[in-house]
Structure 1
Amino acid sequence: MSCWQTIQDYGLRSLGYGERLLPRTDFTLCEHFVLIGSGMIWNIYFGVVALGLGFFFATALALGKMSANRLIRKPAEWFIFLFRGSPLFIQFFFAYFLFLSLKGSYAFFDPFTAAWLGALIVLFLNTSAYSAEIFYGALRSIPKGDVEAADAYGMSGWPRFRRIVWPTMLRLAWPAYTNEAIFLFHATALVFFSSFPAWQQRGDALYYANYFADKTFNPFVPYPILAMYFIIFTLVIVAIFGAINRRLNSHLPQNEKAKLRIRPNLIR
């Protein structure tokens, strides 16, 4: 089988298109790259959707934690503490069994026991908590002079937040938020180890890498390929977030622009 034929057969297999059965013997290097790359589609899905939705929820949580109203501040503080204080793998474990127990009583929760939705919800809540703490620190670091200047121009409420507070918060938080985005993308590999099942062998990248390692008894081919894919997409994240960072700081002098410092977390 040619490599092009392998791409046609397995390029979108993780989405349910192409060959239904996985190769059994005589694994080629092309099959390693194509199947593991196919699984990366799910990792990208988990990372992009969780980060995109979590960005807005994290902003709301940060504002809630800054609120003077105790009824708003305390729930935000406890939510952030809960998801930052417990390991992500344990959150996967408890979420799966919660959804499984609810599924027995309500048919509505049936999709929640699948990785595409259940694991996504856990990643969304986890990154929202970490991002909220980053945004909260940025909100507290906003120079008082900026807010006072807005008040002097007669700006208050939503106009002041939209034009002064929110852009300044993003500019201050963006380097740290970039690191959170990178870690979240790496954390998508934990979905394989969670209790959420891969339906009809349509797993993520680590699922296929582990399949090849089990069949060939040689982990030194599939896992470096998996690492290479993650490194490539990490570079893509750095490039995209770096461009956004330059846009956020385009009005500042060159020596005052905040530069990205990539510091990946070794443990959550």
Structure 2
Amino acid sequence: MSTLPQQTAAIPLLASSAWLARHLHDPHISVIAILSRKPGDGGPTVAIEGAHAFHWKELLWDERQRQFVGADTLRRRLASAGVGPQQHLVLYGDHSQFAFYARWVLLRAGIANVSVLDGGLRGWLADALPTQALAAVHAALPAAGGDLQQPARATADIRIGRDQLLQRLGDDSLQILDIRSQEEYDGQRVGPDGGNHGAERAGHIPGARLFPFASLLDEHSRLRPVEELRALASAAGLDAQRETAVYCRLSHRSTLAFFVLTELLGFGNVRVYDGSWTEWGSLVGAPIAA
């Protein structure tokens, strides 16, 4: 049984562009852009009409360590953009996976009033829906004192760490899924776009199955129909009854797969290894397959 917080029934967990266009001016909804890059660094220069924009790290990470902030800081940072605690968040990414990553972090903190726009900005633009110039990106606020803490009990088990994975290698009760491309999995490169930065070595975690991120999306970055996703999972030999760990390079793509597995395909025990290949590929003594 899933331990995730329950979603408000009236608002879809995965919002279509058409649904959001109809509710764009609903005062109970706040649209949040999760940017992979800021406009001056090659990021988008347009936003969905009325959206509040955050760079992913500046919303979700502590500014002094590679760790997530807790609910207090997340709410303070959202409040700095005028987003109240009772508003329902509809997240979208300039690349779809960044919104799913933000949703996963918010869930870990116990913030459940969150949906994701299917297709993100790319899907919205494909439908020629209203945009505005992206004038400002909200700056990060310092983490609240004592905010780095264990997440809410209901969501504590959706993250797995490197030490836990090391201890479970070879354990048949755990299936490990690599959400990267075939080239990354085979060790031909480290990064998703031909780059070789981000880890000292290339390859994959021993025993991991390939379940590529790109296969889950259509040409507009929307999730494929559930029947197609189920067929992909079956072809990859995945078992919904087994405990599952997912990883990619920085965990953005793996959190999209987390959504697919838990919310659409009925997997009951899925955890994200958020250190992903950036961490594993540089760990001294960690085994690698290629």
TM-score tier by shorter-chain length is: under 0.3
Greater RCO, 1 or 2 (C-alpha within 8 Å, sep 6+): 1
Greater strand share, structure number:
2
Greater helix share, structure number:
1
TM-score (norm 2): 0.26
